[in-house]
């Protein structure tokens, strides 16, 4: 039997001490979800045990690209990429991802987002994303699923080792009975079909809600409509109860209806927001506080943002820049859940 030399023994002892001092945060046996601070957008990067990876929304490419590689090494295989809907602030890094990784499956809305001046011309972000997705399907055999041609079935589950990712909701475009059109409710029309997924590991769960719609801004607190109403109604069959909620539509008042919040009943909520659009709104936050959540369990990627009309002023400051308020959600192999700002 070979006896380790003194330096090797010291190195082994240091590794054991380190494991006790810093127990398995981001370890290969954990699930790590990093909500990247891309400003006014959303990009969530997921590392699972056994080198399984998922991306939920792809933010703004100029702000997300380098940070994606911090969690997922270049040239890795990404098992699943879900693009909740067609807004540019959720698509920007798609070309970068498809160029630098092999993506096995991509699920996206298939609803073209046009420029404001001409409804027949797609936004550059949408055109670039679709081009990259089609190339990934052609060259790397990616299973590219557009909800324009393949209907999402709520409850469909993708399994990666012990991690389950369930499709909760998603449409290419909202049904006519919801009353959203490109002329009367443009934002709601493009956001309402957002693909919602629920990740579960060790009996802990995270709900990724995209830019889903559940109410109209300024309406009665009791209102619950559209996507959120559909999910709440279907919750006995496809659960939405989750420990952590990536809040729909960045904390806007046209989402996070009280019925939806109560059905999810999270212990922590993350608002992916930036300096634009005054998110999260105070009235939205109040609905979360009303079910007993503490403000300290509400996280935002725009810490220190200026207080503006209607915006929640908790931890406000003189201004905020993108890139400095990433948020990590860790589910350890023992079931322990941790949510924390990465740099705080």
Instruction: Please state, in angstroms and as integers, the Cα–Cα distance from residue 11 to each residue in 6, 17, 143, 260, following that order.
Output: 9, 10, 45, 51
Q: List the alpha helices (DSSP H) in the chain.
A: 6-21, 61-71, 94-100, 124-140, 186-191, 226-234, 258-264, 282-289
Confidence category of residue 13, pLDDT binned at 50, 70, 90: very low
pLDDT at 12 over 50: no
At 206-250, the pLDDT tens digits run 999 999 999 998 899 899 999 999 999 999 999 999 999 999 999
> Mind listing the domains of the chain with CATH numbers?
26-341 (3.60.15.10)
| pLDDT reported for residue 333 | 95
Query: 247: which 2 tokens?
Result: 């809040």
Segment 185-195, tens digit of pLDDT: 998 999 999 99
> Cα separation of 269 and 206, whole Å?
10
Q: Does residue 10 carry a pLDDT above 80?
A: no
Q: What is the mean pLDDT of residues 168-185?
A: 95
Q: How far apart are the first and last CA of the chain?
A: 47
Q: What share of the chain is helix, strand, coil (3-state, %, to 5)?
A: 30, 25, 45
Cα–Cα dist 34/41, whole Å: 14
Question: CB neighbours of 89 closer than 8 A, spacing ≥ 6?
Answer: 38, 39, 40, 41, 42, 59, 60
Report the alpha-carbon distance of residue 282 to residue 5 in Å, rounded. 61
Higher pLDDT, 12 or 286: 286
pLDDT at 29 over 80: yes
pLDDT digits (tens, 9 = 90+) for 88-144: 999 999 999 999 999 999 999 999 999 988 999 999 999 999 999 999 999 999 999
pLDDT digits (tens, 9 = 90+) for 267-324: 999 999 866 777 799 999 999 999 999 999 999 998 777 677 777 777 666 566 777 8
- Give dist(CA 232, CA 223) in Å, integer: 12
Instruction: Please tell me the predicted confidence (pLDDT) of residue 174.
Output: 96
């Amino acid at each position: 039997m070979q006896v380790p030399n003194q330096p090797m023994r010291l190195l082994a002892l240091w590794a054991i001490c380190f494991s006790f001092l810093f127990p398995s945060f981001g370890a290969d046996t954990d699930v790590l979800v990093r909500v990247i601070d891309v400003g006014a957008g959303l990009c969530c990067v997921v590392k699972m045990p056994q080198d399984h990876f998922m991306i939920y929304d792809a933010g703004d490419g100029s702000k997300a690209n380098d940070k994606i590689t911090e969690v997922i090494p270049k040239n890795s295989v990404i098992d699943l990429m879900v693009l909740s809907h067609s807004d540019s602030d959720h698509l920007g890094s798609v070309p970068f991802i498809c160029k630098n990784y092999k993506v096995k499956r991509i699920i996206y809305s298939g609803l073209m987002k046009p420029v404001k001046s001409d409804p027949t011309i797609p936004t550059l972000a949408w055109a670039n994303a679709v081009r990259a997705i089609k190339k990934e399907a052609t060259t790397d055999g990616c299973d590219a699923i557009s909800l324009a041609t393949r209907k999402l079935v709520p409850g469909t589950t993708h399994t990666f080792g012990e991690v389950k990712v369930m499709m909760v909701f998603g449409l290419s475009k909202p049904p006519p009975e919801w009353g959203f059109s490109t002329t009367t409710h443009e934002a709601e029309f493009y956001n309402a079909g957002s693909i919602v997924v629920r990740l579960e590991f060790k009996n802990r769960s995270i709900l990724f809600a995209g830019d889903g719609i559940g109410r109209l801004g300024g309406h009665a607190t009791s209102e619950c409509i559209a996507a959120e109403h559909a999910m709440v109604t279907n919750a006995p069959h496809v659960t939405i109860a989750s420990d952590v909620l990536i809040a729909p539509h960045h904390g806007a008042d046209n989402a996070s209806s009280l019925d939806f919040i109560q059905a999810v009943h999270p212990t922590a909520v993350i608002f992916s927001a930036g300096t634009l659009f005054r998110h999260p709104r105070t009235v939205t936050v109040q609905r979360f506080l009303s079910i007993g959540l503490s403000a300290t369990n509400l996280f935002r990627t725009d810490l220190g943002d200026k207080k503006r009309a209607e915006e929640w002023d908790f931890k406000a400051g003189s201004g905020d820049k993108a890139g400095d308020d990433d948020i990590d959600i860790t589910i350890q192999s023992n079931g322990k859940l941790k949510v924390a700002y990465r740099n705080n």
